[in-house]
Structure 1
Amino acid sequence: MTSSAPHLDRLRLRQLRLLELIDTHRSLRAVGEVMNLTQPAVSQMLKDLEFAFGVTLVDRSVRGAMLGPLGQLALQRARTGLAIFDNLAADLHADLPTVVRVGTNPAVMLDLVPSALHHMEAHRANIRFRLEAGTVGNMMSGLLNGDLDCYVGRVDWTATPEQMAETLRYDPLTETSLVVACSVDHPLANRSSVSATELAQWPWTLPSGDTNNRRSIETAFRNCGVQAPVPVVEVSADPTSLLRLTQKIELLTCLPKIVLDTYAAEGRIVPLVTPDLDFLRIQTCFVTLRENDTLQSLQMLREALVHVCLERPDVTEGG
C-alpha cells in the first residue's frame, strides 16, 4: 500500500486525534462514544487515515484495537503537529510577538542560554522566550510531543528511538565532563589526588537517580570495581543546590565543570583530582524538529548559541 497525496490533503485534525483516542481506549466502540460517532463511522475514519498514509496503523482483534509500530510513530508525530497548531492558534489570538518555547537543563541556564539571549539582543528582537529547565528525558519528551520548539542541552540518544531521532535536527555546541568537588574546609580539599575507593567512604550529595549525570557517576564508580556512593541528600536537576549543600554540610558532590567554575572562582568550592574515575564526556546540542528548522526565531537562537560557544569553549551543560 502506498500513500495517497490527494487523500492526505483531505485529512482533518480530528482524524489525527483519532490515533490518540485509540491508544487511550483500545476500542473503536469506546472511541465512537467519545467522539459522538457510531463504530462504523470511526472504522471508516481509520480506513481513510490508513489509506492516506499507505500503511496499517492499527491492529484489530477480538480484544480490541491497538496501535502497531507504525501507528505509534504516527501518533508521536501527530501529537507534535497538533501541539504546533494549538500553540499557533493561541499566539494568533494573543496578538503578541512570536513565542519560542525553549527546553534546557538547569546548568545550561547558568550561562549558555542567558549569554546567547544577550548576544541576539532578545529584548529587541520582537520575540518572546518561554524557558523550561528539567531533566534530559523530560525535555526530549517535550520536544517530541510538540510542547517545546527546541531544546538546548544534553541528549541521551540511547533513550531516543531511531525513528524519532530521524525526525530531529541537532547541532553540537560544546562538551565537558563531570568533576568531583568539595568545600575548601573539607578534609580532602588539599589532597593531591583521591581514589574512587576512598571517595565512596565519604558522605555525598548527588543529583537524583532519574538524571543522566547520576547514571554517569554510578557507572564511573562501578567501572573502578567500587560500589557507587549512596547520597545523604539527593537533588533533582538543580546543580546550584548541590554546591550549596556541599559548602554548608561539607558533603562531596559531582557536577558539570561550568557549574563548579562559577563557585570555585569565589574560593568556596574546590575540584578534586580523581585519576581512576573516568566520566563520560557531556555534549551540549541544539535540537529541534526538522519541520521547524527554517523558523527564523529558531535560526537566530541557534546562531547566537554557536557564537557564544565559539567565543567561550568552556561553556557546557548538565542534566
Structure 2
Amino acid sequence: MAYSLQHIDRLRLRHLRLLALIDQYGSLRGVGNILNLTQPAVSQMVKDLEYAFGTELVTRSVRGVALTEAGRLALQRARSGLATFDHLVKELQTDQPMILRVGTNPALTFQLIPDALRQLHLGGKQVRFRFLTGIVSDMMQALWDGELDCYVGRVDWDRLPHQMASALRHVPLARTDLVLACSTSHPLAARGPVSVDELVKWPWVLPDDESNNRVALEAGLRNHGIAAPQPIAEIAADPNALMIFARQLEALTCVPQMALARQIEVGEMCALDVPDLVLPPIQIGFVTLAEHVDMPPLVALREALILGVTTS
C-alpha cells in the first residue's frame, strides 16, 4: 500500500489523537464514546490514517483492536507533534516571547548553561527558557515525546532504541572528566597521589545506582579487584547536593569536573589525584529532533553554547 499525499492533506489533529485513544482503550466502540462518534465513523478515521501513511496501523481481533508496530511508531511521532502543537497554542495566548523547553543534566547548570544564556541576553535574543533537569534516560524520553525542544547533556547512544536515535540530531559541545572529590578539610585533601586501595577506607556519598557516573566509578574499582563502596547517602541527579553532603560528612564523592570547578575556586572542595583509577570522560552534546534542527531559537542557543565552550 503506497502512502497518499491526497489523504495526508485531509488528516486532522483528531486523526493523530485517535492512535493514542486506540492504544489506551483497545476498542473502537470505546474510542467512539470518547469522541462522540459512531463505531463506523471511527473505523473510517482509521482507514483514513492507513490510506494516508500507506501501511496497516491497527489490527482487529475478537479481543478488540491494537496498534501494529507501524502504528506504535506513528503514535510516538504523533505524540511528539501534538505536544509541540499544544505548547504552541499556549504560547500564542500571551504577548510574551516564546518559551524554549530545554532538558539538561544538573552538572551543566553550574557554568555552561548560564554562560550561554548570558551570551543570548547580551545579543538581545528575546527568548524565555523553561529548564527540566534529570537523568539522561528521562531527558531523552521527554525530548522524544515532544515535551522538550532540545536537550543539553550526555547521551548514551548504546541505550537508545534505533528509531529514537535515528530521529535525533546531535552536535558535540564539550568533554569533561569524571573525578573523585572531597572537602579541603578531608585528610586525603592534603595528600599527594592516593592509591585505589585507600579509597574504600572512607565514607562515600554517591549518585543512585542507576547513574552513569556511579556505574563508571564502580566499574573502575572492580577493574582493580575492589568491591564497590556502600555509600552512607545516595542522591539522584544532583552533583551540588553530593558536594554539600561530602563537605558536611567528610566523605568522598564522584562528580563531573565541570560541576566541581566552582567549588575548587572558592576553596571548599578539591579533586583527588588517583593516578591508577581511570574513569571515562563525559561527552556533552546538544540534541534535538531532526525536524526542529533549524528552529531559530534552537539555532541561537546552540551557537551560544558552542561560543561559551570555545571561549572558556
TM-score grouping bracket, smaller chain normalisation: over 0.9
User: Which secondary structure state, in structure 1, belongs to the residue aligned with residue 93 of structure 2?
Assistant: helix
Once residues 102 and 137 of structure 1 are traced to their aligned partners in structure 2, the CA distance between those partners, rounded to angstroms, is: 15
Q: Is 1:64 the counterpart of 2:64 in the alignment?
A: yes
Does the CA-based 8 Å contact 2:170-2:286 persist in structure 1?
A: yes
Residue equivalent to 2:241: 241
Once residues 122 and 103 of structure 1 are traced to their aligned partners in structure 2, the CA distance between those partners, rounded to angstroms, is: 22
Q: Displacement, 1:111?
A: 0.5
**Superposition RMSD in Å:** 1.7
Residue equivalent to 2:190: 190
User: Which secondary structure state, in structure 2, belongs to the residue aligned with residue 194 of structure 1?
Assistant: coil
User: Which secondary structure state, in structure 1, belongs to the residue aligned with residue 173 of structure 2?
Assistant: strand
Once residues 208 and 252 of structure 1 are traced to their aligned partners in structure 2, the CA distance between those partners, rounded to angstroms, is: 15
Q: Is 1:7 the counterpart of 2:7 in the alignment?
A: yes
User: Which secondary structure state, in structure 1, belongs to the residue aligned with residue 190 of structure 2?
Assistant: coil
Residue equivalent to 1:251: 251
Residue equivalent to 2:101: 101
Once residues 225 and 19 of structure 1 are traced to their aligned partners in structure 2, the CA distance between those partners, rounded to angstroms, is: 52
Does the CA-based 8 Å contact 1:178-1:257 persist in structure 2?
A: yes
Cα 1:225/1:64, change in 2 over 3 Å: farther
Provide Cα deviations, 1:17-69, integer angstroms capped at 9, x if missing partner: 11111222223232222222233322221121112111222233323322232
Provide Cα deviations, 1:260-287, integer angstroms capped at 9, x if missing partner: 2211122221211223333222111111
Residue equivalent to 1:90: 90
Residue equivalent to 1:232: 232
Residue equivalent to 2:176: 176
Does the CA-based 8 Å contact 1:143-1:151 persist in structure 2?
A: yes
Cα 1:46/1:303, change in 2 over 3 Å: same
Q: Displacement, 1:201?
A: 3.5
Residue equivalent to 1:304: 304
Cα 1:32/1:195, change in 2 over 3 Å: farther
Once residues 196 and 78 of structure 1 are traced to their aligned partners in structure 2, the CA distance between those partners, rounded to angstroms, is: 50
Query: Within 5 Å, which residues of 2 pair with 1:265-284?
Result: 265-284=265-284
Once residues 235 and 199 of structure 1 are traced to their aligned partners in structure 2, the CA distance between those partners, rounded to angstroms, is: 19
Q: Is the deviation greater in 82-91 or in 220-229?
A: 220-229
Residue equivalent to 2:203: 203
Once residues 97 and 47 of structure 2 are traced to their aligned partners in structure 1, the CA distance between those partners, rounded to angstroms, is: 40
User: Which secondary structure state, in structure 2, belongs to the residue aligned with residue 188 of structure 1?
Assistant: helix
Once residues 267 and 207 of structure 2 are traced to their aligned partners in structure 1, the CA distance between those partners, rounded to angstroms, is: 23
Q: Is the deviation greater in 257-266 or in 221-230?
A: 221-230
Q: Displacement, 1:122?
A: 6.2
Once residues 63 and 194 of structure 1 are traced to their aligned partners in structure 2, the CA distance between those partners, rounded to angstroms, is: 64
Once residues 279 and 290 of structure 2 are traced to their aligned partners in structure 1, the CA distance between those partners, rounded to angstroms, is: 31
TM-score relative to the length of structure 1: 0.92
Does the CA-based 8 Å contact 1:201-1:229 persist in structure 2?
A: no
Unaligned runs of 5+ residues in structure 2 are none
Residue 251 of structure 2 aligns with an amino acid whose one-letter code is: L
Provide Cα deviations, 1:82-109, integer angstroms capped at 9, x if missing partner: 0111111111111221211111111111
Residue equivalent to 1:25: 25
Query: Within 5 Å, which residues of 2 pair with 1:13-52?
Result: 13-52=13-52
Residue 2 of structure 2 aligns with an amino acid whose one-letter code is: T
Q: Displacement, 1:245?
A: 1.0
Cα 1:7/1:180, change in 2 over 3 Å: same
Provide Cα deviations, 1:129-156, integer angstroms capped at 9, x if missing partner: 1122222122111111111111111112
Q: Is the deviation greater in 187-196 or in 260-269?
A: 187-196
Q: Displacement, 1:123?
A: 8.3
Once residues 166 and 311 of structure 1 are traced to their aligned partners in structure 2, the CA distance between those partners, rounded to angstroms, is: 31
Provide Cα deviations, 1:223-271, integer angstroms capped at 9, x if missing partner: 3332211211111211111111111110110000012221112222121
Once residues 109 and 2 of structure 1 are traced to their aligned partners in structure 2, the CA distance between those partners, rounded to angstroms, is: 48
Once residues 20 and 68 of structure 1 are traced to their aligned partners in structure 2, the CA distance between those partners, rounded to angstroms, is: 13
Residue equivalent to 1:317: none
Q: Is the deviation greater in 205-214 or in 237-246?
A: 205-214
Once residues 84 and 122 of structure 1 are traced to their aligned partners in structure 2, the CA distance between those partners, rounded to angstroms, is: 28
User: Which secondary structure state, in structure 2, belongs to the residue aligned with residue 279 of structure 1?
Assistant: coil
Residue equivalent to 2:287: 287
Once residues 213 and 56 of structure 1 are traced to their aligned partners in structure 2, the CA distance between those partners, rounded to angstroms, is: 43
Does the CA-based 8 Å contact 2:108-2:259 persist in structure 1?
A: no
User: Which secondary structure state, in structure 1, belongs to the residue aligned with residue 279 of structure 2?
Assistant: coil
Displaced runs of 4 or more, over 4 A:
none
